[in-house]
Amino acid sequence: MKYKILNSALLKIYDLLYAKFGPRHWWPGDTRIEVIIGAILTQNTAWRNVEKAIHNLKKEKMLSASRLSDISEKKLAALIKPSGCYNVKANRIKIFLKFLNVCYNGSISKMFKAGLCQLREELLALKGIGQETADSILLYAGGKPVLVVDAYTKRVFLRHGFISQKADYKKIQSLFMNNLPENVGLFNEFHALIVELGKSVCKSKKPLCNICPIRSMRRKQNARRNKKTG
């Protein structure tokens, strides 16, 4: 019964968000390597800054695993400078590329042929690759059925009473993956829609609750408690 209730509620939220915002066409990227690099660069920065860094790499014709592997870490850092923390991120990209070259002969296609659980563990073992980054790579570049959780996800579903303040990444992710069909397209679009809701409506300091497309989905037992936080 609990599964059916949550399944219905989550799918309803998805439908309401889709009706409001439409398809998000996320993650923007022409190739798998571009999506992977973008997932690393977007850590602790706005997407507009990542776009500038990606533009620099494209301009220098560097967006391939082999070319990124060949250039120095210093030069890579200079190219991705707009993304912020460029030295740290250049090092993380180089660590990923070393893993790709050693474990999968530099082949992204071969890497994504690995099982979801295996590849996720391998990515999480790399320095600087956390759960959100790993899952973004798996879902958006690899087409693996895993849902990405971020700050927007926690904010929205905490305010609507689906999770507690103490809920960690795994628990939040399980809320979706245990109660929704295992569908890459659904996971992709749902996460992108939640991000849009968090950015434009369910804001951190001044949420626009009166125009929230899912305000009717707030769970009753938490409605009073969450009223002040939107």
At 101-122, the pLDDT tens digits run 999 999 999 999 999 999 999 9
- pLDDT at res. 6: 81
Give the model confidence (pLDDT) of 6-36 as tens digits: 889 999 999 999 999 999 999 988 899 999 9
Tell me 39's DSSP state. Answer: H
For residue range 136-166, what is the model confidence (pLDDT) as tens digits?
999 999 999 999 999 999 999 999 999 999 9
- To the nearest 10 degrees (0 to 180), the angle between helices 169-177 and 184-200 is 120
pLDDT for position 221? 45
Confidence bin at 227 (pLDDT 50/70/90) = very low
| CB 23 within 8 Å of CB 189 | yes
127 vs 223, higher pLDDT: 127
Mean pLDDT taken over the chain: 93
Q: Could you tell me the pLDDT band of residue 174, with boundaries at 50, 70 and 90? A: very high
Band (pLDDT 50/70/90 cuts) for residue 225 is: very low
- The predicted structure's pLDDT at residue 28: 87
**Which residue stretches of the chain are H helix?**
2-21, 32-41, 47-59, 65-70, 73-79, 86-104, 108-111, 116-124, 131-136, 151-159, 169-177, 184-200, 220-226
**Distance separating alpha carbons of residues 56 and 220, to the nearest angstrom:** 49
CA distances from 156 to 28, 33, 142, 180, 214 (A): 23, 30, 26, 18, 10
Residues 81-98 have a mean pLDDT of 98
What domains appear along the chain, each with residue ranges and CATH number? Answer: 2-25+148-229 (1.10.1670.10), 32-141 (1.10.340.30)
Predicted TM-score (pTM) of this structure? 0.91
Q: What distances in angstroms separate CA 155 from CA 44, 164, 195, 197, one per listed residue? A: 17, 10, 10, 10
pLDDT band at 229 (very low <50, low <70, confident <90, very high): very low
pLDDT, mean of residues 80-105: 98
pLDDT at 200 over 70: yes
pLDDT of 74 above 80: yes
User: Encoding tokens for residue 106?
Assistant: 């530099």
Contact 109, 141 (CB under 8 A): no
pLDDT average, residue stretch 36-57: 96
Among candidates 227, 140, 155, which has minimal Cα distance to 195?
A: 155
